[in-house]
Amino acid sequence: MINQSRAHIFGFLILFSVGVFLVSCSSKSYPTQDLKISRSSAIPAQFVNVEGYDSGSITIAIRVKFNQTHLYHILSDEQDNFMAEGWFATAKDSSGRYSVTMKAKDGFSFAPGQKILLCIGQKHPEEYMYRSNSYQCLTNIWLTLE
């Protein structure tokens, strides 16, 4: 009876350890604060429009043709802090644009008069941080929230 109890406790500890390991490996946390944005050719202002925002999210319409079906979109502040980011499809709708809705990361918010950089890249930032300290934008544009 005691050996069976020990076996159950040992089994639980192994499963718990595996679970903790898997959670830590799948965490989306990476040190983007050390990654600077390397700007490239800017999108002309008439091709990007902030459709709406509140303190926690923002929707941006983009009228640019990309060959890639999905690209990584980053919104950063003037100090290159990544405020919001994610992969988004670039398929255009019938009006010739695609929209992205991004949620602000913890500790960040969107506000009138705020200047933000929209950076569109081909890779996840984590792919750059192990060999460089900068994220290469495919294209970018500064936006001022009204």
84-105 residue pLDDT tens: 999 999 999 999 999 999 999 9
**What is the pLDDT at residue 7?**
58
Domain map (residue ranges) of the chain: 1-30, 32-144
Give CA–CA dist 103/121, Å, rounded.
18
Give CA–CA dist 113/115, Å, rounded.
6
Does the pLDDT value for residue 130 go beyond 60?
A: yes
Mean pLDDT along residues 127-136: 84
- Percent of the chain topping pLDDT 70: 77
Q: pTM to 2 decimals?
A: 0.76
Are residues 122 and 103 in contact, defined by beta-carbon separation less than 8 angstroms? no
**What is the pLDDT at residue 29?**
46
CATH topology of domain 32-144: Immunoglobulin-like (2.60.40)
- Percent of the chain topping pLDDT 90: 66
Region of residue 26 (left: phi > 0; alpha: psi -120 to 50; beta: else): alpha
